[in-house]
Amino acid sequence: MPASLVTETADLLARLGVPADAVTGGSLVVTSPITGERIAEVRETDATGRDAAIAAADAAFREWRLVPAPRRGELVRLFGLELRAAKADLGRLVTIEAGKIVSEGLGEVQEMIDICDFAVGLSRQLYGLTVATERPSHRMMETWHPLGVVGVISAFNFPVAVWSWNAAIALVCGDTVVWKPSEKTPLTALAVEALFEKASEKAGAPFGLSRLIIGGREAGEALVDDTRVAVVSATGSTAMGRAVAPRLAARFARAILELGGNNGAIVAPSADLDLVVRGVAFAAMGTAGQRCTTLRRLFIHEAVYDALLPRLRRAYASVTIGDPREAGMLVGPLIDAAAFDRMQTALDKARADGAVIHGGERARQDLGGNAWYVRPALVEMPAQTEVVRTETFAPILYVMRYTDLDAVIAAHNAVPQGLSSSIFTNDLREAESFLSAGGSDCGIVNVNIGPSGAEIGGAFGGEKETGGGREAGSDAWKAYMRRATNTINYGRDLPLAQGVAFDVE
Ligand code: NAD
């Protein structure tokens, strides 16, 4: 039997460098979804503390923006080393606080390490263009400069990786960061802050490069409304994005929005069904269906429907559900009772729409009355009704039949969200159609792998109600910098663009 959660959490926090008084006697009660036990009482950041955090980041920015980018990268390199040393402990804390199975908790920390490596390389590759000019003896170029304080608001389901996608890139770009983690996962954030402080000390970096504010919606709003915060990267539900986006627009601040997904996959007649079963199982049931990229809608061609469905049912029936700390567990708990209620409401709606539901019931009540485990639900739907078009953050996979590729691509796109998508096929024409301009309308479009489990090298994000933001790799760094277009005249005349004449004596 694993050790008591309370003791284990306290030990992990101490080893990770979090002071005991930050996690005892505070007003924010933290429970572990594994058993529903109270594991800490965290001190929230009041209005004065929030102001001080933003002021410190703002002051640090004035210094940090002048440090050469490769030297900024050195801090991120040192932080990556701290993460490597603490990987086992931090990954374990992710498991305890967010309920992820062990390999996913560790995977989340690995993702932080990966983005640090990426950012270190990037710190020597921030580049601008030179552009042909129409005027003789002129040069035109683009230069990129740090933007300011980056506010990061993150969701419970990726309690540490999402911050690192933003922070590692923002820091090499010369920005500073203020982080408002989910109120459901403040412990992992405190641990990350402690590790970052260690790296900062070793690097001799200025105070205030990364600050943490703990709290709920109100704390997030403090970042959103503060004119010292140049860009807000907000990850969470579409409802949150709907509240945040207009407030940022009202003060012309930049927004990077990473919101809800409702991801689909198409299984074509030529698909390799062994691969489909494995790909669908991980994408739909992994993280107990609590990933933004979780597979929620599966369109199966009628030619393979009857062969595939029984195999999926077997996979669903056999998956191990329980304490995510135990070896061999594949599905851990939902985050809380509200998540369980929302799942049951969605299943009731699907039933009313004529669905045949396999699974979906509460499981493992032996692990605690306030622990919310479920058997993932495989739901045969006669049509893509309203409940299917809505993101329910739980392991529900709606399965539908199709006959025609164009029609199924249209159905795939007929949802408000646009995050991630897949097609399973061995037919080049089908694959390329899905990838083409007339294919999937999502930010992530895959072939022969599920929609979840992205790597940091690519830009991550989605369209429509997913918010349009991009984070992590590729050129996502540009969102954290401002671009200046420079024109330099090295001649003795002053020709004007477009042949405009304006001669004065
Ligand atoms: P949530 O929207 O409840 O909370 C997310 C964060 O926003 C929290 O830190 C919360 O305190 C804060 N917040 C809520 N309302 C706010 C407001 N009005 N102003 C400022 N901050 C506010 O989301 P959650 O339940 O933690 O996470 C699940 C959701 O996040 C799902 O919809 C999932 O798809 C989405 N998500 C998206 C991505 C992505 O990259 N697209 C990644 C992870 C999660």
The answer to whether residue 2 scores a pLDDT higher than 80 is no
On whether both 210 and 181 belong to a single domain, the answer is yes
Beta-bridge partner residues of 374: 362
Q: Is 463 in the pocket of ligand 1 (CB under 6 A)?
A: no
258 noted as active-site residue: yes
Examine residue 498 and state whether it is found in any structural domain, yes or no: no
Q: Report the number of secondary-structure helices (H) and strands (E) in the chain.
A: 14, 23
Q: What is the pLDDT of residue 360?
A: 98
With a 6 Å cutoff on the Cβ, whether 217 touches ligand 1 is yes
- Both 177 and 249 in one domain: the answer is yes
| Two tokens, residue 261 | 């997904």
Length of the chain: 505
Q: Which of 42, 237, 294, 392 to mutate to test the pocket of ligand 1 (most atoms within 8 A of CB)?
A: 237
The reply to whether 424 and 287 lie within a common domain is: yes
pLDDT confidence band for 50 (50 / 70 / 90):
very high
State whether the beta carbon of 243 lies less than 6 angstroms from ligand 1. yes
In the three-class reduction of DSSP (H, G, I as helix; E, B as strand; rest coil), residue 132 is classed as coil
85 lies in the same domain as 169: yes
Q: Are 90 and 105 within one domain? A: yes
* Ligand 1 centroid distance, CA of 162 (Å): 11
pLDDT value, residue 505: 83
- CATH number of the structural domain spanning residue 319: 3.40.309.10
Indicate which CATH number applies to the domain containing 116.
3.40.605.10
Tell me the CA distances in angstroms from 91 to 102, 108, 353, 403, 461, one per residue in order: 7, 7, 41, 44, 24
pLDDT value at 406 more than 60: yes
Domain count, the chain: 2
Pocket test for ligand 1, best of 235, 340, 396 (most atoms within 8 A of CB): 235
Q: Are residues 76 and 212 in the same domain?
A: yes
Catalytic, out of 193, 258, 380, 471: 258
Domain presence at residue 217: yes
Asked if residue 1 has pLDDT above 90, the reply is no
pTM score, whole prediction: 0.97
Report the separation in Å between the CA atom of 255 and the middle of ligand 1, taken as the mean of its atom positions.
14
CB 217 within 8 A of CB 101: no
What separation in Å is there between the alpha carbon of 238 and the centre of ligand 1?
Answer: 8
Q: Is position 400 within any domain?
A: yes
**pLDDT at 108 > cutoff 50:** yes
Domain-embedded: residue 394: yes
- Asked whether residue 269 falls in the same domain as residue 251, the answer is no
pLDDT, one tens digit per residue, over 83-92 is 999 999 999 9
> Per residue in 26-49, pLDDT tens?
999 999 999 999 999 999 999 999
Using pLDDT thresholds of 50, 70 and 90, give the confidence band for residue 180. Answer: very high
Rounded CA-CA distance 162/463 in Å is 18
Q: How many other CB atoms are there within 10 angstroms of residue 60's CB atom?
A: 21
In this structure, which residue's CA is closest to atom 7 in ligand 1? 236
pLDDT, one tens digit per residue, over 199-216 is: 999 999 999 999 999 999
Q: At 458, which amino acid appears?
A: G
Instruction: Mark whether 292 is an active-site residue.
Output: yes
* Phi, psi torsion values for 364, nearest 5 degrees: 50, 45
pLDDT of 238 strictly over 50: yes
For residues 61-72, average pLDDT: 98
Read off the tokens for 17.
């460098």
Same structural domain for residues 180 and 274? no
236 CA from centroid of ligand 1 (Å): 2
**Ligand 1 pocket check for 13: Cβ under 6 Å:** no
Query: Do residue 248 and residue 357 come from a single domain?
Result: no
Mean pLDDT (whole number) for 56-67: 98
Confidence class for position 3, pLDDT limits 50, 70, 90: low
The phi-psi region of residue 435 (left if phi > 0; otherwise alpha if psi is between -120 and 50; otherwise beta) is: alpha
Q: For residue 225, give its domain range.
A: 47-259+467-484
Q: How far apart are CA 268 and CA 404, in angstroms?
A: 10
**pLDDT tens readout for residues 410-421:** 999 999 999 999
The partner residues of 378 in beta bridges, in order of sequence, read: 358, 397
Mean pLDDT of 355-366: 98
Q: The tokens of 2 are what? A: 């694993």
pLDDT in tens, 425-456: 999 999 999 999 999 999 999 999 999 989 99
Q: Is 392 helix (H, G, I), strand (E, B) or coil?
A: coil
